[in-house]
Amino acid sequence: MNGVTMNKRKSIWAIFAGFLTVVLLSTGTDFILEKTGIFTPPEQGFFTTWMLVLAFAYRSVYTIAGGYVTASLAPQNPMRHVVILGCIGTAAGIAGVFIGWNLSDHWYPIALAATGFLFTWVGGKIKTRNSQTT
């Protein structure tokens, strides 16, 4: 296997790993909060403001972590990989606005879609800035 093919695989893995980080941490935290009774079950809707604010906060942190993971695993040009992940996440967030329109207050899916790219970028910047100083 030549170096170009290997780098492409590493690039795809870096982006996928960042995406997986966000998805697994978010759904895992949701699951734990629902099972412990802190959050209501999904079939009851998600309209309590403090729950939405908490979910937005931890999803934001996890999105930053996803950008960091992608930048860490990228074989070269880490911010390019982070931008690709941010675009994928933004597209998923926009889809989530339409899919989840009646599942929660409207501000919540809009805020996730609007901030996803920024938080992914921040995670990548944290990693690349740390790499430059060490």
Give the pLDDT confidence score for residue 131 in this predicted structure. 76
Torsion of the alpha carbons at 99, 100, 102 and 104, rounded to the nearest 10: -170
8 Å CB contact between 103 and 55: no
Give the pLDDT confidence score for residue 134 in this predicted structure. 58
Tokens read off for 120:
């992914």
Give the pLDDT confidence score for residue 49 in this predicted structure. 93
Tokens read off for 12:
């795809």
Instruction: Give me the DSSP letters along 19-84.
Output: HHHHHHHHHHHHHHHHHTTSS--GGG-B--HHHHHHHHHHHHHHHHHHHHHHHHH-SS-HHHHHHH
* Residues lower than pLDDT 50 in the chain: none
